[in-house]
Structure 1
Amino acid sequence: MLKDAIVIGTGFGGITAAALLAKAGYDVLTLEAASELGGCSSKFDRDGYRFSAGATVGMGFEEGGMLKRLFEELNSPLPPMKKLDEIMNVYLPDRTVTYFSEKERWYKEIANKFDRNQDRIIAFFEEVFKVSRVLQKFVERRAIFPPSTASEFFALLKSVDVNLLGLTPYLTQSVQDRLAKFGLTNNEPFMAFVNGQLMDSVQTTASYCPSLLGYMALSIFHNGAFYVEGGLASIIHALAENYHASGGELRLRHKVVSIAKQGDVWTVMTKRGEVFRTKKVIMNAPIHNIFSLLEPELHHSLSIEEQQEKKKDAWGAFTLYIGADSSFMMPESNSIPFHQFISSYEFPLSEGNQFLFSMSQEGDTKFAPTGKTSITISTHTKVDNWWERETYERRKEEYMGRIIESIDKRFPSFSSSINMKMTGTPVTFKRYTQRENGKVGGYIPTGKYSLLKSYSPNSGVEGLWFCGDTVFPGAGSLGSSLSGWMVADAIKGKHPVQDM
């Protein structure tokens, strides 16, 4: 039977595209290699605890937010969640900064915690908010970027207004360039704070981050950050339920090993030897994996060159999954689910020197029993370090010790409260998410022009589409979901069911 579309992977991009197409009346099959939905946003259960595999912070659920509008488009209720005012504590070597969502409270925190340049820092954030408001309106129009067809160019032009054109000078600047304009680059604590936020959101620091990309990242918490009961996997499962209700077919433990094209029909083969036929293929696999899945004769037709792609770098993640008694947390911090640790100003913000600590909240029994908490900790790491068997176990112990030592300095009873712990490495992510060498989080921006070098969701081959964190608009649950929505829009624009 010929399917209208086959979606490969159930991360945010894939499940968004699948749900939207099924809602529109398409006959859609979704194939997932793992036994759990969600890819890097999935969950797993151990010893009475649920853990988020990777992504933890909920964004885009505020009124008018992208994911809120997605659920409205699907006529589906959002899972239970709480909007946060105190989003995150950031533990710098010599101070703790609380990241407030509400702008005025945030500005008061800046005045209290940064002992110089407060007026310049506030002026910088005013620019961040002003620019990001314009960008947000453009992104919400869901134009394919970079465009590769006449219709995509036309749609992009229609999405551009005079306010967006006013941001043209920012295209040739990095976040570091903008910080220099405000005289902030010598303010070590503030630069560490900004760089920590950028690392967690766009995978790089101010020196290498395009200003427009960085401004969107630095503004996103102020639009709304949410604690989602049961984690972001709850969002994935809600989208999957909507997909099922619309008639979509989903098969877990169906790893795709080959994708070929015969005329106008695509054939998708799984490890089980099953072959499925379709008009459209939507790959929610990272671009790192594309060339090993596509039949070689298709490689030259892609808009992406294999050798060029191999030169683009991406991080891996070292993760710690800890079940603990929640009593270790100080009362004033107990209601804050997200904590960022930066142990030293002297070292790079990776390999355990900077990490995100996400803990379940009291009463969320999807994650942990009463009086307990489920903790996911993640730090950026170079993937190449983890494929040497001789040093693998020792490296795991070193990273785990380094991270727990940093937490103990802030919360002295943390170690003694631990009931169970597990580690994850790029090897683990390769095994469970199929991502090449365990690369996660999209590509690392390498300079002010990186945004203009993004890969398009349009593969360049008729009927083949990409979504996820390695195509525009980039990393994170919001960016990945938006890419899936773009693909669904593009396919529906060419399908007769739109006119029925």
Structure 2
Amino acid sequence: MFNEKGGGDMGVQDVCVIGGGFGGLTAAAIMAQSGQVNVTLLEASREWGGCAGKFSRGAFTFPAGATLGLGFQEGGIHDVINTRLGIQVEKTLLDTVMAIHTEDRTIRYFRDRERFLEEMDSHFPQIDEKIRAFFQHCWRIAAPMNRLSASFPAVPPVSAFDFFHSLKQIKPGDVKLGFYIRRPLSWLLRKYGLEKEEDFIHFIDGLLIDSLQTSSEKASCLLAAYALDIYHQGAYYLSGGLYKSAEALAGIVKSSCGKTMQGRKAVRVGKKDSRWVIEDHRGTSYTADHVVFNVPVEALKDLLDRELYESLPKRSKKDTGGQWGAFTLYLAVSEEVIPDHMPLFQQVVSGIGSPLAEGDHLFVSVSDRNDRYRAPSGFRTLTVSTHTDVEKWNDRRTYDEHREKMTDYMLQRLKTVLPRLEEGIVHLLPGAPRAWERFTGRPGGSVGGYPQTTGNSFFRDHPHKLKHKGLWICGDTVFPGAGTMAVSSSGYHAARSVLRSVST
């Protein structure tokens, strides 16, 4: 439909989506199903889902990154999108969301709020009333946030529709949320006298580094409250992994007469007359009225023609940096080394004062014993990830040595909760930032978007519209930020804006 050898339906505008992560897939599926535009989706790799995709080795399938399913509860962001598109996924609601292992305790994060608070009481008996008050305050803040997020408000607004749509969702009591916009979560901790409770803060920071890429000292109070509440809304194990949801979105594009093209890396976007021209690495050209980028903002520098890029505002011209990288171990192990009744999601956290990165904070996901998408009977797969500073991986001379040291250190940390791990390993594959860069195409191998601090969120976030007419962007470096719920929301914003544009 878009290539230089043919045109699309007469009178119907063409849209090219660059990138098949959750943001691009969501945008493409919504637009294709609408029937209002011709859609072509270009993905550089051979897998859908981006950082939430997968790869296989022999009989084993490994989710590349995030595997905990959030936003799939009734009225959640993924549920709203999937219901609209007619998508169903195999999922299991988790009563125990995860277990957090520190050097001297194991805390279970329960979905049920009262059961969770009782768990907090048992670990922090001297400050139990303060902790209860703190979490109840977080949950009160999060309640309107949950309602508002399901209506897909776009901040900063890029049109009168965005502004009035967001305004229409606000109830009188929601105005109080503005009080928290410029405050970090550390303010709320101080309010309840918890600012010096190092054990508790270390526990909270371990949760926030995974969801917001930062600690309580800098995290946006609103977003942190939302992140601490979302586990109680419903966390799910998705059979196979989140890539199954990604593949279902790609399926909607195809069944709606859109084109999905893998192994097609976009390398240049320019303009000819009134049309956008996209060129892939094979030299094939595509023309479109609209382009939706599902790439990090800093990737625009290498995609847009120089003149177009230079004319962008400062907020759209970012250099590589400012984001975390990930170091990940992918393991296939025999069933017998996994303890009975072990929660499928774990955190392994070093002691107070240790960084929540570089192997001192691990997020672990284990495949369900009955998940045949991931492993044959009698085996499990594990994805074990830690944050890492991408700058530490720039020296090619020490790269391999650093990778080996990180692998050994993470295995030792993992053995604190899986003592028999080494005797059951069938496959062990490390993935450092350079591997992430190859797999996802993200500059420098950065993942997870920018830390969601008070200076990077809401009205200081990047909008889904670029300066030039017909150019849009979604993903984890634009509002509302990181995680599949957020990037799917940004894809929804882009699709909604394109469809409104072509209908007016």
TM-score range, shorter chain: over 0.9
Q: Corresponding residue for 1:171?
A: 181
The aligned amino acid for 2:15 is A
Q: 1:171·1:449 contact (CA, 8 Å) conserved in 2?
A: no
- The CA distance in 2 between the partners of 1:207 and 1:347, in whole Å, is 15
Over 3 Å counting, the alpha-carbon distance change for 1:297 and 1:260 in structure 2 is same
Matches within 5 A, 1:62-461: 62-76=73-87, 78-305=88-315, 309-310=318-319, 313-333=322-342, 336-447=343-454, 450-461=457-468
Q: 1:471·1:483 contact (CA, 8 Å) conserved in 2?
A: yes
Over 3 Å counting, the alpha-carbon distance change for 1:482 and 1:324 in structure 2 is same
Q: 1:304·1:455 contact (CA, 8 Å) conserved in 2?
A: no
The aligned amino acid for 2:496 is D
Q: Corresponding residue for 1:50?
A: 61
Q: Corresponding residue for 2:34?
A: 24
Q: 2:75·2:150 contact (CA, 8 Å) conserved in 1?
A: no
SS in 2 for 1:357: strand
Q: 1:213·1:451 contact (CA, 8 Å) conserved in 2?
A: no
| Unpaired segments ≥5 residues, structure 2 | 1-6
1:60 and 2:71 aligned = yes
- The CA distance in 2 between the partners of 1:65 and 1:450, in whole Å, is 21
- 1:316-369 Cα deviation digits (max 9, x unpaired): 000000000122222231xx1100010221211000000101010111011011
Pairwise CA distance, 1:87: 1.0
Q: 2:73·2:233 contact (CA, 8 Å) conserved in 1?
A: yes
* TM-score normalised per structure 1: 0.95
Q: 2:155·2:479 contact (CA, 8 Å) conserved in 1?
A: yes
SS in 2 for 1:443: coil
The aligned amino acid for 1:61 is F
Aligned-pair Cα RMSD in Å: 1.6
Q: 2:328·2:385 contact (CA, 8 Å) conserved in 1?
A: yes
- The CA distance in 1 between the partners of 2:189 and 2:170, in whole Å, is 26
- The CA distance in 2 between the partners of 1:315 and 1:195, in whole Å, is 15
Q: 1:174·1:448 contact (CA, 8 Å) conserved in 2?
A: no
- 1:226-262 Cα deviation digits (max 9, x unpaired): 0000000000011111221111101110000000123
Pairwise CA distance, 1:491: 1.4
- The CA distance in 1 between the partners of 2:273 and 2:219, in whole Å, is 42
The aligned amino acid for 2:338 is M
- 1:409-449 Cα deviation digits (max 9, x unpaired): 22211121111100101100111111000010001234466
Q: 1:455·1:471 contact (CA, 8 Å) conserved in 2?
A: yes
- The CA distance in 1 between the partners of 2:370 and 2:456, in whole Å, is 45
- The CA distance in 1 between the partners of 2:472 and 2:316, in whole Å, is 17
Q: 1:323·1:421 contact (CA, 8 Å) conserved in 2?
A: yes
- The CA distance in 2 between the partners of 1:445 and 1:139, in whole Å, is 16
The aligned amino acid for 1:168 is G
Runs of 4+ in 1 over 6 A off after TM superposition: none
- The CA distance in 2 between the partners of 1:449 and 1:239, in whole Å, is 29
Pairwise CA distance, 1:394: 1.1
Pairwise CA distance, 1:477: 0.5
Q: 1:301·1:461 contact (CA, 8 Å) conserved in 2?
A: no
- The CA distance in 1 between the partners of 2:425 and 2:101, in whole Å, is 21
SS in 2 for 1:352: coil
Q: 2:320·2:443 contact (CA, 8 Å) conserved in 1?
A: no
- The CA distance in 2 between the partners of 1:124 and 1:134, in whole Å, is 17
Moved more, 160-169 or 37-46: 160-169
- The CA distance in 2 between the partners of 1:47 and 1:148, in whole Å, is 47
SS in 1 for 2:62: strand
- The CA distance in 1 between the partners of 2:415 and 2:301, in whole Å, is 44
Moved more, 6-15 or 258-267: 258-267
| Unpaired segments ≥5 residues, structure 1 | none
Q: 2:184·2:453 contact (CA, 8 Å) conserved in 1?
A: no
- The CA distance in 2 between the partners of 1:244 and 1:200, in whole Å, is 33
- The CA distance in 2 between the partners of 1:21 and 1:148, in whole Å, is 19
- 1:382-410 Cα deviation digits (max 9, x unpaired): 11111211111111111111111112122
- The CA distance in 1 between the partners of 2:316 and 2:118, in whole Å, is 49
- The CA distance in 1 between the partners of 2:269 and 2:432, in whole Å, is 28
Pairwise CA distance, 1:306: 5.6
- The CA distance in 1 between the partners of 2:134 and 2:425, in whole Å, is 41
The aligned amino acid for 1:332 is H
- Provide the aligned length of Structure 1 versus Structure 2: 493
- The CA distance in 1 between the partners of 2:112 and 2:299, in whole Å, is 40
SS in 2 for 1:465: strand
- The CA distance in 2 between the partners of 1:225 and 1:29, in whole Å, is 32
- 1:288-311 Cα deviation digits (max 9, x unpaired): 20111001111244344465x228
Q: 2:476 aligns with which of 460, 469, 480?
A: 469
The aligned amino acid for 1:106 is F
Q: Corresponding residue for 2:4?
A: none
Q: 1:312·1:444 contact (CA, 8 Å) conserved in 2?
A: no
Q: 1:258·1:294 contact (CA, 8 Å) conserved in 2?
A: yes
SS in 1 for 2:416: helix
Q: 1:172·1:449 contact (CA, 8 Å) conserved in 2?
A: no
The aligned amino acid for 1:52 is P
The aligned amino acid for 2:77 is M
- The CA distance in 2 between the partners of 1:449 and 1:17, in whole Å, is 23
Over 3 Å counting, the alpha-carbon distance change for 1:376 and 1:302 in structure 2 is same
SS in 1 for 2:283: coil
